[in-house]
Amino acid sequence: MDPGAEQLTAGSVESAKGLPLKSVLPLVDASTREPIDDPSDKVLNSGETVHLSNHTTLLAKDGSEHHIADSAAPIRGKDSTVLGMVLVFNDVTEEYRLRERAKTVHQQMQSLLNGLRTTTGILDCDGTLVFTNDTPLKASQVAMADVIGKKFWDCIWWDYDPDVQALIKSDIAQAAAGKSTSRDVLGFSPQGLFWIQVNIYPVRDDNGNVIQLTAEGVGIHKRKLAEEELRESAQHLKVYSDQSPLATIEWDCTNHDLTVNSGKKAAAEACG
């Protein structure tokens, strides 16, 4: 045992000599608190290097606990016979706490954003999707694993059309350069294409550097359909007005003044 091992186990080399490894290095699973198998047994029996799980906790003799990362490797003689083993381990308690804290924050954010009507995603600056709520997943009938880690423009909502992919990719490049973008675009789902407003914003650190991007998707399909119906109605009205032999007059009442805004030739003749 080197000084580092003595410090972590709160024991000395002299006190450890002759004792089984389990007594010197009692290990438990950090989550279940169940004892972990002695790594020396696996190494001596298999002759292979063994790595412990990321949830391994060392119970020191002074009552303290340390999350550790370790590996155990066989020591071989000239004829490759296993003569013993060497165990290397180090304290990763702080790293473990930070990792668990990050996992908790991620779960809290997922729970908070799931169920919202809007799509919320987080991208790396290269366009890789690292987080999304479940709204777009339910709409497109895909799993989280189908989109996380992919370039945003390669996800199912945009990969049906190279031109749409190019638009999304361009917006991401602009956001990564520090400029927020907003675009109405047709997305894909198994039920058909749908209109969505995609907003992409840069996320900056304390020094003003862009470190990530947030993507927001707002459903506007009903609005787009209503706008199209209004446009078609206006076109039909114009065609009717242009072709009608009857006199028609359009009035502008926005200022509470009845003023002739436009009139056809027939209307002008009728009114003198």
Q: Are 152 and 166 in contact (CB under 8 A)?
A: no
Amino acid occupying residue 55: H
Question: How far is 166 from 171, CA to CA, in rounded Å?
Answer: 9
Helix (H, G, I), strand (E, B) or coil at 139: helix
Q: Classify 18 in phi/psi space as left (phi over 0), alpha (psi -120 to 50) or beta.
A: left
Residue environment code for 207-244, b if the CB has 16+ CB neighbours within 10 A, otherwise e: eeebebbbbebebbeeebeeeeeeeeeeeeeeeeeeee
Task: Return d(Cα 149, Cα 207) in angstroms, integer.
Answer: 27
The 3-state DSSP class for residue 220 equals coil
Strand partners, 119: 217
Question: What is the H or E stretch that residue 244 is in?
Answer: none
CA distance 120 to 136: 9
Position 261 scores a pLDDT of 45
- Say how far apart CA 116 and CA 219 lie, in whole Å: 11
* Identity of the amino acid at 246: L
- Cα separation, 229 vs 121, in Å, equals 32
Could you give the CA distance from residue 89 to residue 75 in angstroms, rounded to a whole number? Answer: 16
The token duo for 270 is 């009728």
pLDDT of residue 260: 45
Residues 6+ apart with CB under 8 A from 76: 47, 82, 83
What pLDDT sits at residue 246? 55
pLDDT string in tens for the chain (272-residue length): 788 888 888 888 888 888 888 888 888 888 888 988 888 888 888 888 888 777 788 888 899 988 888 788 888 888 888 888 888 888 887 887 777 777 777 676 777 777 667 888 999 999 999 999 988 888 888 998 999 999 999 999 999 999 999 999 999 999 999 999 999 999 999 889 999 999 999 999 999 999 999 999 988 877 777 777 777 766 766 666 666 565 555 555 555 554 444 445 555 555 55
pLDDT at 118: 83
Cα dist from 254 to 51, 125, 260, 264, whole Å:
78, 48, 12, 21
| Per-residue model confidence (pLDDT) at position 68 | 83
Listing DSSP states for 17-54 in one string gives TTS-HHHHS-EEETTT-PBPPPHHHHHHHH-S-EE--T
